[in-house]
Structure 1
Amino acid sequence: MPSTVQDIGYGRQFAPWYDRIFPKGAEAVATAEILSGLHPDPSAGTLEFGVGTGRIAVPLSRKVGPVTGVDSSMEMLDLLASDPAGTDVIGIHGDIRNYTDSRHYGLVYAVCSTLSMLLTAEDQQAAISRAAERLAPMGRLVIETSNRPAVEALHEGRARATLFTPYPEPGTGLQTHSTLLPGSDLWQCSHIWYEADGTTRVGNELSRLTTPDEVDGYAVAAGLTLEARYSNWDLSPYSDQYPMFLATYTKTA
């Protein structure tokens, strides 16, 4: 039977070099450490929406036990399955807009702008609602996604901007051609990854920018309560100058 999971094709483009732009290193381990501290009850289980290659789920599983990870990309899930360190991460091919299972989890999380990959407010609301349904009472939802005010500020009033991010490994870096599509809340990025040997990789992505207030609205509509907002994984206070933001929500019943 053909799959009913709708995949935007992100994994087909980025899976072969995803771990180059988002390394499985100290930063991922530090993020997992923060998530483990935010987990209200590891014995109640852990669910990730947008697990990808397991960059966060694998180190998190070492701290809280098995993690269930949902992703629409079989390419990403294949890489997760091939990781010998990922034996405690259960990869599931699914659509976070309609995912359901028989469990309720202490922690559900979606990081690295997974939410922004959904291109309508209705789809973003659906994903937050599905996450809320899977939470146990007193469970916590953690969302990390792009921060619309900061992204718009980077463009300095222009529709297009070009950014370059150098990486620690000499000769490597990511060049991004960024476009705010006129008359919409959509953000298109064309990326070129440079290797030290002179080779390159190219990928494109389209996302929907949100404000923290909009994400809060999704959570409230799903029966959750805003707990805190942060600028990044050091849990510093929220600022509209950071390109990402982190928000936590709780389920009281």
Structure 2
Amino acid sequence: MTATRTAASASTSASAVVEDIGYGRQFEGWYDRLFPRDESAATAAARLAALHPGPASGTVEFGVGTGRIALPLARALGAPVTGIDSSPEMLAALRSAAEADAAGVEAVLADIRTYASDRSVGLVYCVCATLSMLLTPEDQARAVARAAELLAPGGRFVVETHNKPAVLAAHEGRSRASYFIPYPEPGTGLQTHSTLLPENDLWHCAHIWFESDGTSRVGTELSRLTTPDEVDGYARAAGLVPENRGADWRGTPYDEEAPMFVTTYVKPARASS
């Protein structure tokens, strides 16, 4: 049975203010066109399921969005996934998808920098560059620290985010670049106008989505680019141990030219007395 709730009934304080950057309002109704529930989502979910130390121990996704990963992961685990997001629009889409899918995904309106629970879990994951949408090192470190706090000893934290060296290389020394990505469906594609703001490691993207019927949609996003070493630093400061790094969910070895990187971290088991 599908479980859903809001921050008012979650372990976080009902009076806490959830800062929403408006991402869901911009991409409402077409987010799933940009990030379809396709084989790539199934591959990510399968990899996360394989990394889970024990499905019964619990699972939390930071930045669940519309459930592209959480829904197939819940099916693969045969156990619920708690999805945290600051966007009411994204969570509304998740609830609709979860009801149709009959998967056990619990939707929680909360801030990944402050979310807390009275239950430890075996797996926390933060994918699709959610970590990069926090725009300061301090906020990124806070989110990683929250993940570490949620984990039980022996639990695992998984991060997938933009690979800064690859993004910089794609600009070839320029502050601005434009590119077009055709999608499999005939007549569809995504045009992106990309701007680097190097003084703050920020990356601004304006997207135009083209539908096959001739209509288009526009959305923008701002990210803070990080190197793998920087994310490792956040994790170590939170008491986590880097375990493995790859370029994608298929386990391809990390490469500076890969657009994303996937890193796993482990929370050390308590020393026996």
TM-score (norm 1): 0.98
Q: How is 1:27-42 mapped onto 2 (pairs within 5 angstroms)?
A: 27-42=40-55
1:131 maps to 2:153: no
SS in 2 for 1:133: helix
**C-alpha deviations, 1:101-157, integer Å up to 9, x for none?**
111111100000000000000000000000000001100000000010000000000
SS in 2 for 1:175: strand
2:80 aligned residue: 66
- Asked if the contact 2:74/2:103 (under 8 Å) is kept, the reply is no
- Unaligned runs of 5+ residues in structure 2 are 1-13
Q: How many residues align?
A: 253
Rate the CA distance shift 1:101–1:191 in 2: closer, same or farther, 3 A: same
Rate the CA distance shift 1:162–1:72 in 2: closer, same or farther, 3 A: same
The CA RMSD measured in Å over matched residues stands at 1.1
Q: How is 1:142-221 mapped onto 2 (pairs within 5 angstroms)?
A: 142-221=158-237
1:225 maps to 2:241: yes
1:107 maps to 2:150: no
Provide the rounded CA distance (Å) in 2 between the counterparts of 1:61 and 1:4.
Answer: 28
SS in 2 for 1:16: coil
Of stretches 230-239 and 79-88 in structure 1, the one that deviates more from structure 2 is 79-88
Runs of 4+ in 1 over 6 A off after TM superposition: none
AA matched with 1:161: A
Which of the residues 65, 75, 91 maps onto 1:77? 91
SS in 2 for 1:183: helix
1:55 aligned residue: 68
SS in 1 for 2:26: helix
- Asked if the contact 1:80/1:86 (under 8 Å) is kept, the reply is no
2:257 aligned residue: 241
Provide the rounded CA distance (Å) in 2 between the counterparts of 1:153 and 1:235.
Answer: 22
Which of the residues 35, 40, 46 maps onto 2:59? 46
1:96 aligned residue: 112
Provide the rounded CA distance (Å) in 2 between the counterparts of 1:226 and 1:86.
Answer: 35
- Unaligned runs of 5+ residues in structure 1 are none
Which of the residues 4, 10, 14 maps onto 2:27? 14
**C-alpha deviations, 1:79-98, integer Å up to 9, x for none?**
01111115400000000000
AA matched with 1:164: F
AA matched with 2:179: L
**C-alpha deviations, 1:1-58, integer Å up to 9, x for none?**
8760001110110121000000012221111011101111111011000000000000
